[in-house]
């Protein structure tokens, strides 16, 4: 298959490109390098079945492909809040352009949506049928509402043009090739621990998160793409095991053997207190579930961060 991966030079995209090439596909990666980097794709750049194109998906793209994975979008608050207008454009104009391409080529298209569509949820764990509680005018809205609008576009293309869509709601995922400075909790803690500096916790650390290892997510994403046409999603994928932020910090300090202490700071605006996926749909319809334990995944991630520190 000839597969387009937008945002393929980013954290998740680079893992996805690598796996798709490994499975024998021809992969075209499109990225504007806003947060992604060629370094994430170093091993693929000379591969005969891999091609990298510098392109911003807010502009139309004309190529021939069989499948599209639409991952392009800065994903961490630090990055998506730097240029919020561009973030919304990437989600909305990007979706329109990629759906247009899917319609013209007859390609199946998967959207990397997010648990952020649930906002600060009143339902716990979050099920796909929950519509969410999202602030439309806050500093996270460019991302949350952009992703919500992208989902709307996907379902309108499905209803109106019969485009084959797959909408995947991704929960907190971590692993090698995360950005060292994107402010996400796992990368933050590991970088701080490796530098023996204080691990910063926003709030009192009792807020819980669930962390999915990247390999588990990529397996589920590819699995979902090849599922029957009628399975459009939205489907949640993530790891339902919950940890408090304080527990995560303590684990990272232990696994790195760091001398770091923990420092508490004020909670930022709209930070959700709890986030946990209900993955019964993915389990029932795709036979999918995460298999990597948090410690196992942290060890691999710490190894990666040590390697880029040298
Ligand atoms: N990592 C997670 O925990 C997580 C959770 C939920 C959803 N997601 C979604 O998965 C996708 C990938 O996330 P990630 O963690 O790999 O983030 P990332 O920032 O590492 O990757 C995003 C990639 O998109 C590229 N990009 C941004 N704007 C673009 C544009 N206009 N045109 C072309 N390329 C552009 C960036 O340069 C980068 O390579 C995103 O859509 C994100 O919203 C990720």
Q: What is the DSSP string of 35-61?
A: S--GGGGTTTTT-TTEEEEE--TTS--
Q: Give the residue-averaged pLDDT of 79-98.
A: 97
210 Cβ below 6 A of ligand 1 = no
Find, among 238, 287, 225, the residue nearest to 25 by Cα: 225
Q: In what order do the strands lie in the sheet with 26-31?
A: 50-54, 26-31, 2-6, 67-70, 108-114, 165-170, 235-237
pLDDT band at 182 (very low <50, low <70, confident <90, very high): confident
pLDDT reading at 270 higher than 80: no
**Can you tell me whether residue 227 is helix, strand or coil?**
coil
Q: Is residue 174 annotated as part of the catalytic site, yes or no?
A: no
278 Cβ below 6 A of ligand 1 = no
Give the β-pairing of 50-54 and 67-70.
Answer: unpaired
Q: How far is the CA of 6 from the centre of ligand 1 (A)?
A: 9
Percent of the chain at pLDDT > 90 equals 90
pLDDT reading at 173 higher than 90: yes
Q: How far is the CA of 8 from the centre of ligand 1 (A)?
A: 8
Give the β-pairing of 26-31 and 262-265.
Answer: unpaired
Global pTM reads 0.96
pLDDT reading at 225 higher than 90: yes
pLDDT reading at 272 higher than 70: no
Cα(first)–Cα(last) distance of the chain, in Å?
38
Q: Give the residue-averaged pLDDT of 39-51.
A: 97
Asked if 277 and 127 count as a contact pair (C-beta separation under 8 A), the reply is: no
pLDDT at position 310: 66
Active-site annotation holder among 143, 157, 174, 213 = 143
33 Cβ below 6 A of ligand 1 = yes
pLDDT at position 181: 87
pLDDT reading at 271 higher than 70: no
Distance, C-alpha 138 to centroid of its chain: 21
**Can you tell me whether residue 138 is helix, strand or coil?**
coil
216 Cβ below 6 A of ligand 1 = no
Percent of the chain at pLDDT > 70 equals 98
On average, the pLDDT of the chain sits at 95
Q: Looking at ligand 1, which atom is closest to the CA of residue 89?
A: 31
């Amino acid at each position: 298959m000839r597969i387009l991966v937008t945002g393929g030079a980013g954290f998740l995209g680079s893992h996805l490109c690598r796996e798709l090439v490994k499975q024998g596909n021809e992969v075209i990666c499109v990225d504007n390098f806003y947060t992604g980097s060629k370094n994430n794709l170093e091993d693929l750049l000379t591969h005969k079945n891999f091609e990298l194109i510098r392109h911003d998906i807010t502009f139309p793209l004309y190529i021939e492909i069989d499948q599209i994975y639409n991952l392009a979008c800065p994903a961490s608050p630090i990055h998506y809040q730097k240029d919020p207008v561009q973030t919304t454009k990437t989600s909305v104009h990007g979706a329109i352009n990629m759906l247009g391409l899917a319609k013209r080529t007859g390609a199946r298209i998967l959207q990397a949506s997010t648990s952020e569509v649930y906002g600060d949820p009143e339902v716990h764990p979050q099920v796909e049928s929950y519509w969410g509680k999202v602030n439309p005018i806050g500093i996270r809205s460019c991302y949350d509402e952009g992703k919500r609008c992208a989902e709307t576009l996907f379902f309108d293309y499905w209803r109106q043009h019969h485009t084959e869509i797959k909408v995947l709601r991704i929960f907190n995922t971590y692993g090698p090739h995360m950005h060292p400075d994107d402010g996400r909790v796992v990368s933050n803690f590991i970088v701080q621990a490796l530098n023996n500096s204080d691990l910063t916790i926003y709030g009192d650390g009792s807020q819980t998160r669930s962390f999915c290892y990247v390999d588990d997510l990529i397996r589920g994403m590819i699995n979902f793409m090849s599922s029957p046409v009628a399975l459009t999603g939205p489907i949640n994928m993530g790891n339902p095991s919950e940890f408090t932020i304080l527990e995560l910090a303590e684990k990272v300090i232990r696994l790195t053997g760091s001398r770091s202490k923990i420092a508490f700071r004020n909670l930022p605006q709209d930070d959700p207190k709890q986030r946990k996926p209900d993955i019964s749909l993915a389990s029932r319809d795709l036979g999918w579930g995460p298999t990597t334990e948090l410690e196992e995944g942290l060890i691999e991630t710490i190894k990666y961060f040590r390697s880029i520190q040298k």
